[in-house]
């Protein structure tokens, strides 16, 4: 894959993930505010449960952001597009779908 295309894919993915992080983090604050409300008709457990889910989603998004960082480092180092495990090339098709891919499709299947 051409370097310019890889940079654009990674930039787009970074923006998308950062927007999702902002959305989830904002929702978590709303859940905490709702959980602190009083009243007979309000179930304070629901927002707390949703907050826990939001925290799990946020952790996944932060891991995705770290994967993007690692991919950008590989791009600078000249190893982008190759498996971090075997050094085999990762197909351009896979990188188009997941620009932060670290393994070939076969390796990812074996790991999963």
User: Would you say 70 and 79 are in contact if contact means Cβ atoms under 8 Å apart?
Assistant: no
**Cα separation, 33 vs 40, whole angstroms:** 16
65 C-beta neighbours (distance < 10 Å), count: 17
Beta-sheet strands, E only, within 5-72: none
Q: What Rg do the C-alpha atoms of the chain give, in angstroms?
A: 19
pLDDT higher for 32 or 66?
A: 66
Q: For the residues of 58-89, what is the DSSP string, one character each?
A: HHHHHHHHHHHHHHHHHHHHT-TTB-TTT-PB
Q: Residue 106's pLDDT is what? A: 95
pLDDT at 38 over 60: no
Q: Which of 8-12, 14-18, 26-30 has the lowest mean pLDDT?
A: 26-30
Q: Range of 36's domain?
A: 3-111
Provide the CATH number for the domain around residue 72. Answer: 1.20.120.910
21 pLDDT band, cuts 50/70/90, is very high
What's the structural domain count of the chain?
1
Which residues sit opposite 89 in a β-bridge? 82
pLDDT per position as a tens digit, 48-104: 455 567 788 999 999 999 999 999 999 999 999 999 999 999 999 999 999 999 999
């Amino acid at each position: 894959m051409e370097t310019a295309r890889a940079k654009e894919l990674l930039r787009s993915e970074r923006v998308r993930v950062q927007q999702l992080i902002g959305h989830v983090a904002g929702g978590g604050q709303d859940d905490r505010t709702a959980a602190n409300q009083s009243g007979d008709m309000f179930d304070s457990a629901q927002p707390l449960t949703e907050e826990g889910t939001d925290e799990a989603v946020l952790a996944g998004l932060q891991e995705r952001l770290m994967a993007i960082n690692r991919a950008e480092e590989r791009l600078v180092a000249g190893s982008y597009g190759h498996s971090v495990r075997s050094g085999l090339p990762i197909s351009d098709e896979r990188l188009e779908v997941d620009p932060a891919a670290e393994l070939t499709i076969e390796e990812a299947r074996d790991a999963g």
